[in-house]
Chain A
Amino acid sequence: MSELTWAVADTWVMAKRNLTVWLRVPAYLVFTVVQPTIFTLLFRYVFGGAIHADVPGGYVNYLLPGIIGQTAAFASFATAISLAVEVQKGVIDRMRAMPMARSAFLGGRLLADVVRMTITILVIVGVGYAVGFRFHGGFGRAVAMVALAIVLGAAVCCISATIGLWLKDEESTQAFGMIWMFPLTFVSSAFVPVSSMPGWLQAFAVNQPITHVVNAMRALALGLPLHDDLWLSAVWLTGIFVVFAPLAVRVYKRVS
Chain B
Amino acid sequence: MSDVAVVLEGITKSFGDVEALRGVDLTVPRGSVLGVLGPNGAGKTTAVRILATLLRPTSGTAYVEGHDVVRDAAAVRRLIGLTGQATALVDELTGRENLVMVGRLHHLPKTEAESRAAALLEQFDLVDAADRTAKTYSGGMRRRLDLAASLVGQPKVLFLDEPTTGLDPRSRIAMWDVIRDLVREGTTLLLTTQYLDEADELADNIVVFDRGKVIAEGTSDALKDRVGGDVVAFSVASAAAATQAVDAVANVGDGAPVVSGLDVSVAVGSRGSEALLDVVRRLDAAKVTVTGLGIRRPSLDDVFLALTGHVAEEESA
Q: What residues make up the interface of A, taking CB atoms closer than 8 Å to B?
A: 1, 6, 9-10, 13-14, 17, 20-21, 24-25, 89-91, 93-100, 104, 256
What are some 26 contacts across the A-B interface (CB < 8 A)?
Answer: A1-B107, A13-B101, A13-B104, A13-B105, A17-B93, A17-B101, A20-B93, A90-B85, A90-B86, A90-B87, A91-B88, A91-B89, A93-B52, A93-B82, A93-B84, A94-B88, A95-B105, A97-B52, A97-B80, A97-B82, A98-B105, A99-B78, A99-B153, A100-B107, A104-B105, A256-B49
Select from chain A the residue with minimum beta-carbon distance to B104: A13
- The listed residue (B74, B80, B92) touching A25 by CB distance below 8 A is B92
The answer to whether A99 touches B88, judged by C-beta atoms less than 8 angstroms apart, is: no
> What residues of chain B lie closer than 8 Å to A6, measured between beta carbons?
107
* A113 to B89 alpha-carbon distance, docked (Å): 20
| Distance in Å: Cβ of B211 to nearest Cβ of chain A | 20
> What residues of chain A lie closer than 8 Å to B107, measured between beta carbons?
1, 6, 9, 99-100
Question: Does chain A have a CB within 8 A of B53?
Answer: yes
The answer to whether B77 touches A99, judged by C-beta atoms less than 8 angstroms apart, is: yes
Select from chain A the residue with minimum beta-carbon distance to B74: A99
**Residue in A9, A95, A96, A99 with the greatest tally of chain B CB atoms within 10 Å:** A99
Q: CB within 8 Å of A: which of B215-260?
A: none
Select from chain B the residue with minimum beta-carbon distance to A22: B92
Bin the interface of chain B by size.
20 to 34
* A89 to B150 alpha-carbon distance, docked (Å): 15
| Distance in Å: Cβ of A204 to nearest Cβ of chain B | 36
The proximity string for B residues 59-90 relative to A, scoring 1 for CB distances below 8 Å and 0 otherwise, is 00000000000000010011010101111111
The answer to whether A256 touches B54, judged by C-beta atoms less than 8 angstroms apart, is: yes
The number of A-B residue pairs with CB atoms under 8 Å apart is 73
| Distance in Å: Cβ of A179 to nearest Cβ of chain B | 26
The answer to whether A24 touches B54, judged by C-beta atoms less than 8 angstroms apart, is: no
The answer to whether A93 touches B49, judged by C-beta atoms less than 8 angstroms apart, is: yes
* A20 to B90 alpha-carbon distance, docked (Å): 10
Q: CB within 8 Å of A: which of B133-182?
A: 133, 149-150, 153
> What residues of chain B lie closer than 8 Å to A94, measured between beta carbons?
82, 84, 88, 102, 149-150
Known contacts A93-B82, A256-B55, A98 near B77 by CB under 8 Å: yes
* A43 to B95 alpha-carbon distance, docked (Å): 44
| Distance in Å: Cβ of A101 to nearest Cβ of chain B | 9
* A164 to B269 alpha-carbon distance, docked (Å): 57
> What residues of chain A lie closer than 8 Å to B106, measured between beta carbons?
98-100
* A98 to B97 alpha-carbon distance, docked (Å): 17
**Residue in A1, A20, A93 with the greatest tally of chain B CB atoms within 10 Å:** A93
* A14 to B102 alpha-carbon distance, docked (Å): 10
| Distance in Å: Cβ of A254 to nearest Cβ of chain B | 9
> What residues of chain B lie closer than 8 Å to A95, measured between beta carbons?
105
Known contacts A13-B104, A93-B88, A21 near B93 by CB under 8 Å: yes
| Distance in Å: Cβ of A57 to nearest Cβ of chain B | 42
> What residues of chain B lie closer than 8 Å to A17, measured between beta carbons?
90, 93, 101
The answer to whether B52 touches A91, judged by C-beta atoms less than 8 angstroms apart, is: no
The answer to whether A98 touches B153, judged by C-beta atoms less than 8 angstroms apart, is: yes
The proximity string for B residues 83-123 relative to A, scoring 1 for CB distances below 8 Å and 0 otherwise, is 01111111011000100011011110000000000000000
* A99 to B85 alpha-carbon distance, docked (Å): 20
The answer to whether B54 touches A96, judged by C-beta atoms less than 8 angstroms apart, is: yes
Q: Which 3 residue pairs spanning A and B have beta carbons closest together?
A: A94-B88, A90-B86, A100-B105
| Distance in Å: Cβ of A107 to nearest Cβ of chain B | 13
> What residues of chain A lie closer than 8 Å to B87, measured between beta carbons?
89-90
> What residues of chain B lie closer than 8 Å to A93, measured between beta carbons?
49, 52, 54, 82, 84, 88
| Distance in Å: Cβ of A30 to nearest Cβ of chain B | 15
| Distance in Å: Cβ of B12 to nearest Cβ of chain A | 16
| Distance in Å: Cβ of A31 to nearest Cβ of chain B | 15
* A9 to B87 alpha-carbon distance, docked (Å): 25
* A21 to B105 alpha-carbon distance, docked (Å): 17
Known contacts A13-B101, A13-B104, A17-B101, A96 near B84 by CB under 8 Å: no
> What residues of chain A lie closer than 8 Å to B102, measured between beta carbons?
94, 98
* A56 to B53 alpha-carbon distance, docked (Å): 59
> What residues of chain B lie closer than 8 Å to A96, measured between beta carbons?
53-54
Select from chain A the residue with minimum beta-carbon distance to B89: A91
> What residues of chain B lie closer than 8 Å to A9, measured between beta carbons?
104, 107
The answer to whether B90 touches A91, judged by C-beta atoms less than 8 angstroms apart, is: yes
Given A10-B105, A91-B90, A99-B105, 15 other A-B residues pairs in contact with their CB atoms under 8 A: A9-B104, A13-B104, A17-B101, A89-B86, A89-B87, A90-B84, A93-B52, A94-B88, A96-B53, A98-B105, A98-B106, A98-B153, A99-B106, A256-B49, A256-B55
